[in-house]
Amino acid sequence: MIKKEFLIKVFILSFMCSTISAQIGRGVFIWPSTFFDYGGIDNVISKMRENKITDIYLLVKGESGASLFPSDYTYKDLYYQLYKVTTNESKRERYLNLYKFMSDTSLARKIIKKAHQKGIKVHAWFMVSADRYFIQKHPGAEVVHIPKPDVSEFPYPVTDNSHVNLAFPSYKKYFFSLVRRTLTLPFDGLMLDKIRYTSLVYTWDNIHLSKALRNKINTDKVLESAYNTFYGKEDNKELFIYKYRDGDNDIRKWIEIKKADVEEYVKEASKIAKDNHLILSAAFMPEGAYDENFADVNYAQNYKDLSIYLDYIVIMAYAKAFNQPPTWLKMVIDNAKKRSSCKIWAAIQGYNGAEPEIVFEQIKNARISSPQGIAVFRFGGMNKKMWESFRSGFDINVKKIIKSQKKGVIYIGGGTIRNCWLKSASALLQSQDIIPLLLNEKYLTDYKNYSDMKFILLPGGGGSAEAKALGKTCLKNIDRFVASGGGYIGICAGAFLPIKGYFGNLTKWLQIINAQPIDVDHWNRGSGKVQLEIVQQHPIFRGIKSNKFYLKYYSGPILEPSDLELPPYKELAVFRTDFHENNATPGEMIGKSAVVESKYGKGRVILFSPHPELTPGMEKLLINAVHYITGDN
């Protein structure tokens, strides 16, 4: 009898634990002033409990540098300063009342106590690289803007007086002295926000330049690349990122110096958290989840490198603020999981005009990718209808939606053009059931990373350059993936890649369609809008109103049948206009294959010589192609 009761208790406990573990955490970011604005601690915590909040991120050091705990500069000091300098009477009254509210030195302890009574964890939320107070007290601690060629033409502030140079000698010691003061309070965790630099245009200071010289970095070369990126021709706006991606030694070493600055702070915070049994989380910019080169260059913030120190990352995935559809959250979360070794949370936008529908859609799409938690930024931006949408977003059953999703790879590595793969991803995000994973050759070398993928998309760039970057192993993996039933979409360079090998047979390890390029010696025949005509009705043309239409063209292949031992391809659309720059033969494009389809093993291949992703209004071609090659017709 005792054994039976014990087994029943074990079963119940196991069921409870599995249920709890399956639940997604619900977090909220909150400013201390919000407790004053919303009727006090009891009212705010009750509202959180009503919405099943599990985690609070309480701002204890903001961008002003003011703290919620006793220090040289507190929120009480901040609001008294604002009261003294403000002339608007209503604002003066508000600041005076906030000054009185913040005079309670036990405010943080009261908030934590009330939250714990309701079963809610509280994390001390720190702004790391933003501290106006410290900069005011330590001139020279601010980040420095890259010099502009002509100040009269490009007026700009030489320094950013809001953001601290993380390499400034005394700031790290000062910052962690503040972190250690929170250890006297019963916080459950530490949250690091703005644990990054703000842009490549900053950190051109003597500290970093001196480090560069000691590391034998050619700073003239690095500066020139940055100048050309920001102030040069339009074609050079991605130059610095491309050089970093492609392994330029000086540029990589320059960025590694800044990445080391950020890592030192996360590493130190990790030690403090572990020693004091605290949860360590950090708020990350979303771009690094799928574009590590951009994030490394601009933010010195790398998901893979920093996740080893963290319990979880909270992605600042604010759809409206980043001008993205809610489906973007799926892409951000899935890519972050691929690149990180810690847990992943998503922060959704609950401020600045995020309508209730946007709140709901953000949560729904985030849940499709199963993060460990979803937090809303911020409590003060939410109203009654937004909280209703918040709850509805968690209540909706997403199991069927999850089953309908089609995950696939977009190659973003060497040889690609960043705008091409970003636009391809944006095009696919217009569909509710496609999740693109943006991966480079390092990931595609391991065939395990193809598991659960339905398609791979090779974007514009250079066909031979992409082949060289991918190498034999990746190309053979793609061959194997398609032959096993995966789909392949190639655009421009990605259409050159899988056809019969050319230019010294660099592409010979991926020959999955019986096609070859016409006059490859004159591949650079021009760019602009090209007219196509549909010659065979096909599911990829669903929604295209006319048999003739225009797409952007950038020297994509002119295709014809080859002698590979493969089935003949189907010609779906042909060129009706022509480009013949750089000694190309006039009229050679007209009537030749522009869009083709073929089978390879159990898989399907679709090639576009022009760019549907770069042609506004024609993105549906790409969406239709994914649906077709994944078997959804």
Distances (CA, A) of 88 to 37, 83, 92, 100: 19, 9, 6, 18
pLDDT at 163: 96
For helices 418-428 and 620-629, the axis angle rounded to 10 degrees is 70
Contact 301, 330 (CB under 8 A): no
Beta strands in 185-243 (DSSP E): 189-193
Q: Which residue has the tokens 């009269």?
A: 152
pLDDT band with cut points at 50, 70 and 90 for residue 157:
low
How much of the chain exceeds pLDDT 90, in percent? 88
- Decide which of 191, 226, 260 is a domain's last residue: 260
Task: Give domain status of residue 351, yes or no.
Answer: no
pLDDT value for 150: 61
Enclosing domain of residue 240: 139-165+201-260
- The angle, 0 to 180 degrees and rounded to 10, between the axes of the packed helices 41-50 and 107-117 is 30
State the CATH number of the domain containing residue 577. 3.40.50.880
Contact 447, 486 (CB under 8 A): no
Residue 550 within a domain: yes
Q: What's the rounded Cα separation, in Å, for the pair 604 and 427?
A: 20
Q: Exposure string (b/e) for 200-227, b if CB count within 10 Å is 16 or more? A: bbbbbbebbbebbeeeebbbeebbebbb
In a domain, 540, yes or no: yes
For residue range 379-426, what is the model confidence (pLDDT) as tens digits? 999 999 999 999 999 999 999 999 999 999 999 999 999 999 999 999
Contact 315, 342 (CB under 8 A): no
Identity (one letter) of the amino acid at 472? K
Least confident of 2-16, 31-45, 492-506: 2-16
Overall average pLDDT of the 275-302 stretch: 98
Residue 449 located in a structural domain: yes
- In three state form, how does the secondary structure of 279-333 look? EEEEEECHHHHCCHHHHHHHHCCCHHHHHCCCCEEEEECCCCCCCCCCCHHHHHH
> Which of the four pLDDT bands, split at 50, 70 and 90, describes residue 3?
very low
Among 239, 260, 281, the domain boundary falls at 260
In a domain, 323, yes or no: no
Give the residue from 421, 411, 491, 407 showing the smallest Cα distance to 451: 407
The answer to the question of residue 367 being in a domain is no
Contact present, 328 and 319 (Cβ < 8 Å)? yes
Q: Last residue of some domain: 237, 260, 283?
A: 260
- Residue 519 included in any domain: yes
Pairing mode, strands 312-316 and 455-458: unpaired
Domain contains 68: no
Q: Global pTM?
A: 0.94
Q: 206 vs 140, 168, 173, 402, 414, CA distance in Å?
A: 10, 10, 20, 51, 33
Least confident of 5-19, 127-141, 433-447, 528-542: 5-19
How many structural domains is the chain composed of? 2
> What DSSP designation does 202 have?
S
Q: What is the DSSP string of 324-374?
A: --TTHHHHHHHHHHHH-SSEEEEEEE-SSS--HHHHHHHHHHHHHT--SEE
Which spans in 457-613 are helix H? 463-483, 493-496
d(C-alpha 178, C-alpha 193), whole Å = 14
- Residue type, position 306, single letter: L
